[in-house]
Amino acid sequence: MGAHRALKPEDYRRVLERARTHGFWVASDEAYAEVWFDAPPPSILENGLENAVALHTLSKRSAMTGYRSGFIAGDPRLIEGLRRFRPNVGVATPDFVQRAAIAAWDDDPHADRQRERYAAKRRLFLDDFARRGWAVEGSQATFYIWMKAPGGDDVAFVRRLMRVGLVATPGSFLGAAGGGFVRWALVPTVDECREALTRLDAMTGAQS
Ligand SMILES: Cc1ncc(COP(=O)(O)O)c(C=O)c1O
């Protein structure tokens, strides 16, 4: 986690060079491509389509997780293969979901507004954590904030949170490398996030 850094365009260039030399595909999960704050992240497709595909979803950009809708774009050879393969496996997306998805993909301004909402919530939490001296790690983009668990034990810290009605994810639940870290998901409303910070005051006040 300490070694965390944002993906750079040259990272994609390097891996694609190898893919094109040795003949493998690179699939880039770009689910959070629109949930950024300082600058939009690079896409693998900026390096040409050959051997590359990008996966996108409405789950993050539009908070339409339940629609199970997204798209894959990239090397026409792979897209053609998927076009032949896909009708034979799984189930077709219902028409009304397809219509909702078309409307959502056609509407970029709502994704901008969504990003602004996440930015506002993020500001609240980052300022609050800085005031408490809690160390945020990585977290340049997406609606998650990762921080070092105060006291060092992520599960013990999340237990304390739950006593004041707050839920965050202990990093160790996501793998050994997450031990000692806590992940906040800024998915409630702005008002609920403000309320969460008030409860944090109650929790830390009760402890001190
Ligand atoms: C990095 C990443 N990729 C993909 C997904 C899943 O996207 P979808 O809801 O379209 O399956 C998620 C969401 O959980 C995610 O965090």
Instruction: Report CA(203)–ligand 1 centroid distance (Å).
Output: 32
Residue 5's pLDDT is: 67
Domain locations along the chain = 9-106, 110-207
Question: Which atom belonging to ligand 1 lies closest to the Cα atom of 29?
Answer: 3
For residues 200 and 166, is the Cβ–Cβ distance under 8 A?
yes
pLDDT tens across 62-102, in order? 999 999 999 999 999 999 999 999 888 888 889 999 999 99
Angle subtended by helix axes 190-207 and 154-163, to nearest 10:
110
Alpha-carbon torsion angle 28, 186, 168, 128, nearest 10: 120
Whole-angstrom Cα distance, residue 197 to residue 70? 34
For residue 142, the tally of other CB atoms under 10 A from its CB is 19
pLDDT tens across 156-207, in order? 999 999 999 999 999 999 999 999 999 999 999 999 999 999 999 999 984 4
CATH architecture, domain 110-207: Alpha-Beta Complex (3.90)
pLDDT tens across 14-57, in order? 999 999 999 999 999 999 999 999 989 999 999 999 999 999 99
Instruction: Report CA(31)–ligand 1 centroid distance (Å).
Output: 6
- Which pLDDT band, with edges at 50, 70 and 90, does 208 fall under? very low
Q: Where does 9-106 sit in CATH, by number? A: 3.40.640.10
Whole-angstrom Cα distance, residue 172 to residue 149? 11
Instruction: Report CA(29)–ligand 1 centroid distance (Å).
Output: 8
Q: What token pair was written down for 170?
A: 């202990």
Burial degree of 188 (CB within 10 A; 0-12, 13-18, 19+): middle
For residues 154 and 179, is the Cβ–Cβ distance under 8 A?
yes
Ligand 1 first shell, C-beta below 6 A: 29, 31, 57, 59, 65, 70
Residue 153's pLDDT is: 98
Question: CA–CA distance from 196 to each of 96, 123, 129, 148, 190 (Å)?
Answer: 36, 14, 12, 18, 10
Of 56, 55, 61, whose CA–CA distance to 27 is shortest?
A: 55
